[in-house]
Structure 1
């Protein structure tokens, strides 16, 4: 990674999350992805890659995302509003990207990330 460039961060967005009341239109997860992409088009986050995924297996807590980076803790968050959560997610990602290890102090996290945390997964051990 060139000096001065932020380490890449990946945001995985479950596109198959289904919210109560989802009808024949796009599922809540797909709507969340569209909302995030729209917000990022207006205010990009350097080094962020957004990856749609078919399922994060957290069906009881839609909408769900995961945030990961090399040598960082990975977080899984749920209970996100598909239309209103994009600014919160982006704020949380900016904080996460600003750390070397992915550990953002609990009180510094956006409220939706404090309440919606599902899992914290340690970085993969080096061989």
Structure 2
């Protein structure tokens, strides 16, 4: 992992399967671009769709994915991490994300300050 990360993969530590997903991602985190770290967080309110995994970075949109259960899901998350890293604002279209994540996207939140009505 990076000493001073600026991109984070959030893994729900209370979800069923969270420990297994965490171990699989941790085993592959060195293959990600520099700047990623894993954060274990308690409940991200995806309880109906465990295991939930999020992506977060300063000045970028944030994502939450659910029903992460298979090796294909983990591979898709790692591919998405690379896409997210190179995106200036974190914004990706559903059709540009790995197909395995198409129906697993629970939320995309805009970056802080984006779209604020005054």
Range into which the TM-score falls when normalised by the shorter chain: 0.7 to 0.9
Match of 1:75 in 2: 63
CA deviation vs aligned residue, 1:19-75 (integer Å, no higher than 9, x gap): xxxxxxxxx11110001001224x243111110112111110011011111111111
The secondary structure found in structure 1 opposite 2:102 is: helix
Runs of 4+ in 1 over 6 A off after TM superposition: none
Whole-Å Cα distance in 2 between the matches of residues 107 and 77 of structure 1? 15
**Aligned pair 1:34/2:23, yes or no?**
yes
Q: Matched residue pairs, number?
A: 110
Partner of 1:13: 11
Structure whose alpha-carbon radius of gyration is higher: 1
Structure 1: give runs of 5+ residues left out of the alignment. Answer: 1-6, 19-27
CA contact (8 A) 1:65 1:77 kept: yes
**Where does structure 2 lack aligned partners over 5 or more consecutive residues?**
none
8 Å CA contact 1:32–1:83 kept in 2: the answer is no
Match of 1:48 among 25, 33, 36: 36
The 3-state SS of whatever aligns with 1:59 is: coil
Compute the TM-score of the two structures, normalised by the length of structure 2: 0.84
Q: Is the 8 A contact 1:12 1:51 kept in 2?
A: yes
